Chain A
């Protein structure tokens, strides 16, 4: 049985939903950010697999853009975490409720 596109897409789906579970269940913002990175990577894997399937390297360009956005997101997210820590001396996503209406 050769490795097919469905294998890659299934693996990508599994990793994506592991990331989803991490985002909704953890309250440590660092681990939530890491789970978001997991979801980005799962999407990248699917894009690269489809790119090979169609023999079109536009998918590689797209993955490049996703990596850029992920880097920017991680930098800004971690800066926000540091700021929240400076304000509250305690980082818990459930207690960061300053914008609650």
Chain B
């Protein structure tokens, strides 16, 4: 219980720091703390494999991607380091709407009988509970993934392929080149953007 509340405090605090930091680098570090605390939280919920892929995929891949993009974009003029934020202006309506939604959700939670968490989960999709096949272990997860949920697993591969193709298309230089037959040339639109920006 102490572990849960310690992790909960770390999770909430690092989440708040993530969204209020001005510099995105500090946000990334705070998000890293958040992800690692969440992985520990998964371990307390008997989800060992999920905890491991939380660390490997989120902190190992996604956060590194964020760091790369920050390093790529803020070398030179640093567009992210400064800049006006509309946080003070919109904070009050955002907080009101958020608290309203939070209130509705917690009200609904109190009205639904949720049951209590079992201390030890004894069911497993691979039959008898052994040492390697306890709930949430890699064996349990893999057996469920490759038998019962094989189709979602394959759809996952398809989603990743679509993402790779999309990133390659978006990242290539051909995307920003003006296409032939475009009604408004790119230079003109860029000029217009600067004019609009200057008008503001």
Give residues 34-49 of A contacting B (CB, 8 Å). Answer: 34-35, 37-38, 41, 44-45, 48-49
Task: Tell whether, in the assembled complex, residue A72 and residue B123 are in contact, meaning their CB atoms are under 8 Å apart.
Answer: no
Residue interface bits A41-66, CB-to-B below 8 A is 1, else 0: 10011001101110111101101110
Chain B residues contacting A64 (CB-CB under 8 Å) are: 50, 53, 141, 145, 156
Task: Tell whether, in the assembled complex, residue A30 and residue B80 are in contact, meaning their CB atoms are under 8 Å apart.
Answer: yes
Task: Tell whether, in the assembled complex, residue A22 and residue B19 are in contact, meaning their CB atoms are under 8 Å apart.
Answer: yes
What range describes how many residues of A lie at the interface?
A: 35 or more
User: Which of B62, B85, B155, B176 interacts with A27 by CB under 8 Å?
Assistant: B85
Chain A residues contacting B69 (CB-CB under 8 Å) are: 30, 78, 81-82
Judged by DSSP, the binding face of B is helix
Residues of A at under 8 Å CB distance from B? 1-11, 13-15, 17-22, 24-28, 30-31, 33-35, 37-38, 41, 44-45, 48-49, 51-53, 55-58, 60-61, 63-65, 67-76, 78-83, 85-92, 94-95, 98
Residues of B at under 8 Å CB distance from A? 1, 4, 8, 11-12, 15-16, 18-19, 21, 24, 27-28, 31, 34-35, 38, 41-42, 44-47, 49-50, 53-54, 57-58, 61-62, 65-66, 69-70, 72-73, 77, 79-80, 83-87, 90-91, 94-95, 98, 101-102, 105-106, 109, 114-118, 121-125, 135-136, 140-141, 144-145, 148-149, 152, 155-156, 159-160, 162-164, 166-167, 170-171, 175-176, 189-190, 193, 197
